[in-house]
A = this chain, B = another copy of it.
Amino acid sequence: MKRKIKKLNEENLIREISDFFITLDIKKVLQKITDTLEKRLKVERVSIFKKKEDKNVFEFFVFSKGEKELKRMEIPLGKGVVGYAYKRGLPVIVKDVKKDKHFYSLVDQAVGFKTRSILAFPLKLKGRKYGVIELINKKRGIFTRRDVEICRFLSPFISLALENAILFERLENMFLGIIRSFARAVEAKDPYTSGHVERVEALSYLLARKSGLRGENLRIARIAGILHDVGKIGVPDRILRKPDKLTKKEFEIVKRHVIYSKEILEPIGGIEDVIPGIYYHHERYDGKGYPEGRKEQEIPLIARIISIVDAFDAMASDRPYRKALPAKKIVREFLKNKGKQFDPELVDIFLSMEEVKKILKTL
């Protein structure tokens, strides 16, 4: 045993293992694991199955070849070669799936892939069954004892890297959940805006993506979209709920909500980068907005994005005192205000988005 493991411990393998832990982004972690296994064991496809907590199913992660997009689906726990390896807690090799009674073709159908041979290796975490890695279609020859040994060597690191990424994802989701929830609670004070938070989140994220933002910046756009009106908590109910037109003085008070947003968010370590997108989302491209009267590129990109999305959702939603505007009128408003209220390039990108066209079609 010792001898065998020593044989496998080339420096490269160690470096590859440490790569599993180089990020907590679940997609990247799985990518690294998959790449290492594909390369090391010379197989066509790697799938990773994790038993869901408190549920008798596997969560099944696989990258669709080529597009490199991560698919997640649930499959029953006991089924197939993977289920067999999981139950036994031992590696299972299937040289030819056509001749094997344990082969379960639903997954094949789902991912549109032709399986010939399989090595399924059970994963453990802290001494407990955790999941299975499945190596599909050995490119040349058959799965060997050495392949199994490499799996045995890598498997504790695979479980750990995956579990850490899942934990991190859970915390991030909790974080998004709580800010969504608070944003909704603030919104509930403003009876005109039901569902506004979710829509601005989704469209801000999509427009940011279309505008070329990636990674952490996309995350910031999403969070800013959620929290853009959070400072409304500082505006008295009687003004927020006033059904008539606001007086000039009342409007001045409403305008303060961007300042309140900033004050609420500033003490929070780690989300400083989100504030500009929120604080400046009522600036206008021509410099006539608030709070500072910034113009054009002086206004942070994410604020220019939210400005468009926010205005769009206001026009595209019913209000107690009016229906949503017709699609044509909304488009006309945007075209009229290109370069005045809104960043002209962003307006073009926004109006060309499939998701926006879809919403406009319903109006």
Contacts and interface: CB of A to CB of B under 8 A. Distances in A.
Copy count, this protein chain: 2
The main secondary structure of chain A at its interface with chain B is: helix
Contacts of A18: 156-157, 160
A24 B168 contact: yes
B233 A24 contact: no
A13 to B, nearest CB: 10
Size class of A's contact patch?
35 or more
A236 interface: yes
A170 B270 contact: yes
B5 A156 contact: no
Interface stretch (A102-110, A174-182, A320-328): A174-182
Nearest to A271: B174
B178 A24 contact: no
Interface string A179-221: 1111011101100000000000000000000000000000000
Interface of A: 1-2, 5-6, 9-11, 14-15, 18, 21-22, 24, 126, 153, 156-157, 160-161, 164, 167-168, 170-175, 177-182, 184-186, 188-189, 230, 233-234, 236-238, 260, 264-265, 267-271
25 contacts: A1-B11, A2-B10, A2-B11, A5-B9, A167-B168, A168-B168, A171-B171, A174-B270, A175-B178, A177-B269, A177-B270, A177-B271, A178-B178, A178-B182, A181-B268, A184-B264, A185-B230, A185-B234, A185-B260, A186-B233, A188-B233, A188-B234, A189-B233, A233-B233, A237-B237
